[in-house]
Amino acid sequence: MEKIKAVRGTKDILPHEVNKWQFLENKAREIFSLYGYKEIRTPIFEEISLFVRGIGQGTDIVRKEMYVFDDRKGRKLCLRPEGTAGVMRAFLEHNLADNSITKLFYTGPMFRYERPQAGRYRQHTQIGVEAIGSAEPSLDAEVISLVYNYFILAGLENIQVELNSVGCEKCRGKYKDILKEALAKNVTAFCPDCQERFNLNVLRMFDCKIPECQNFLNEAPKITDAICPDCQAHLAEVKAHLDLLKINYKMNPRLVRGLDYYTRTTFEIIFSSLGSQNAIAAGGRYDKLIHELGGDEIPGIGFAMGVERIVLALDSIGKKWPEMSSLEVYNIAVGSQKAYEYLFELTNKFRQSGISCEIDHRQRSLKSQLKTADKLKAKRVIILGDQELEKGIVLLRSMNTGVQREIKFEELFDLVKKEVLP
Partner RNA sequence: GUGGCUGUAGCUCAGUUGGUUAGAGUACAAGAUUGUGGAUCUUGUUGCCGCGGGUUCGAGUCCCGUCAGCCACCCCA
Can residue 63 be called a binding residue for RNA (CB under 7 A)? no
String of contacts with RNA for each residue 115-134, x by CB under 7 A: xxxxxxx--x-x--------
Nearer to RNA, 132 or 147 (CB): 147
Q: How many residues bind RNA (CB under 7 A)?
A: 71
Handedness of CA 203, 207, 211, 214 (dihedral sign): positive
Determine the residue type at 30: E
Beta bridge partners of 302: 130, 284
DSSP summary character for residue 131: E
For helices 18-34 and 137-154, angle between their N-to-C axes, nearest 10 degrees? 140
Can residue 9 be called a binding residue for RNA (CB under 7 A)? yes
Nearer to RNA, 24 or 383 (CB): 383
- 3-class DSSP state of 278: coil
Residues 41-60 that bind RNA (CB under 7 A): 59-60
Can residue 315 be called a binding residue for RNA (CB under 7 A)? no
Q: C-beta of 104: minimal distance to RNA in Å?
A: 16
String of contacts with RNA for each residue 183-202, x by CB under 7 A: ----------x---x-----
Can residue 16 be called a binding residue for RNA (CB under 7 A)? no
8 Å CB contact between 343 and 382: yes
Residues 64-93 that bind RNA (CB under 7 A): 65, 82
Nearer to RNA, 240 or 420 (CB): 420
145 Cβ contact partners less than 8 Å away, ≥ 6 residues apart: 242, 245, 247
Residues 335-354 that bind RNA (CB under 7 A): 335
Can residue 14 be called a binding residue for RNA (CB under 7 A)? no
Residues 142-161 that bind RNA (CB under 7 A): none
8 Å CB contact between 78 and 62: no
Nearer to RNA, 364 or 417 (CB): 364
Beta bridge partners of 304: 128, 282
- 3-class DSSP state of 41: coil
Instruction: Give how far the C-alpha of residue 302 lies from the chain's centroid of Cα atoms, to the nearest Å.
Output: 13
Rounded distance between C-alpha atoms, residue 129 and residue 217, angstroms? 33
Residues 227-256 that bind RNA (CB under 7 A): none
Rounded distance between C-alpha atoms, residue 270 and residue 161, angstroms? 7
Rounded distance between C-alpha atoms, residue 99 and residue 140, angstroms? 18
Nearer to RNA, 297 or 386 (CB): 386
Nearer to RNA, 26 or 276 (CB): 276
Q: C-beta of 50: minimal distance to RNA in Å?
A: 15
Residues 351-390 that bind RNA (CB under 7 A): 364-368, 370-375, 383, 385-388
Can residue 277 be called a binding residue for RNA (CB under 7 A)? yes
Distances (CA, A) of 170 to 139, 167, 174, 228: 22, 8, 7, 8
Of these, 309, 329, 342, 358, which contacts RNA (CB under 7 A)?
309
